[in-house]
Amino acid sequence: MSTYNIPILRGNVAFNAKEAFTIGRKFGSDYEGRFVVKAQVQVKGRSKGHFIKSGLKSGIHIVETI
């Protein structure tokens, strides 16, 4: 889409927290916006998984910092 000057969101795929941090830093230190994280927990059944450290469930989360 960018070839045809259609605006697209910047982003990438991360497979762990360290990769997500590295990708977030590419936005620059002066970036003051929010980040959208689509998190997936691999478990059997819908809405059953969660992240141990944060308690967040799978899905889309808006975060304020990297």
* pLDDT per residue of the chain (66 residues) written in tens, 0 to 9: 888 999 887 778 888 889 988 888 887 766 677 788 887 766 666 666 666 666 666 677 788 877
Written as six digits, the tokens of 5 are: 């000057």
Range of the domain at 57: 2-63
Q: How many domains does the chain have?
A: 1
Nearest Cα neighbor of 38 from 7, 63, 1 is 63
Question: Rounded to two decimals, what is the model's pTM?
Answer: 0.58
51/41 Cα distance (integer angstroms): 7
41/64 Cα distance (integer angstroms): 21
In 10-46, which positions are buried (b, 16+ CB within 10 angstroms) versus exposed (e)?
A: eeeeeeeeeebeebbeeeeeeeeeebeeebeeeeeee
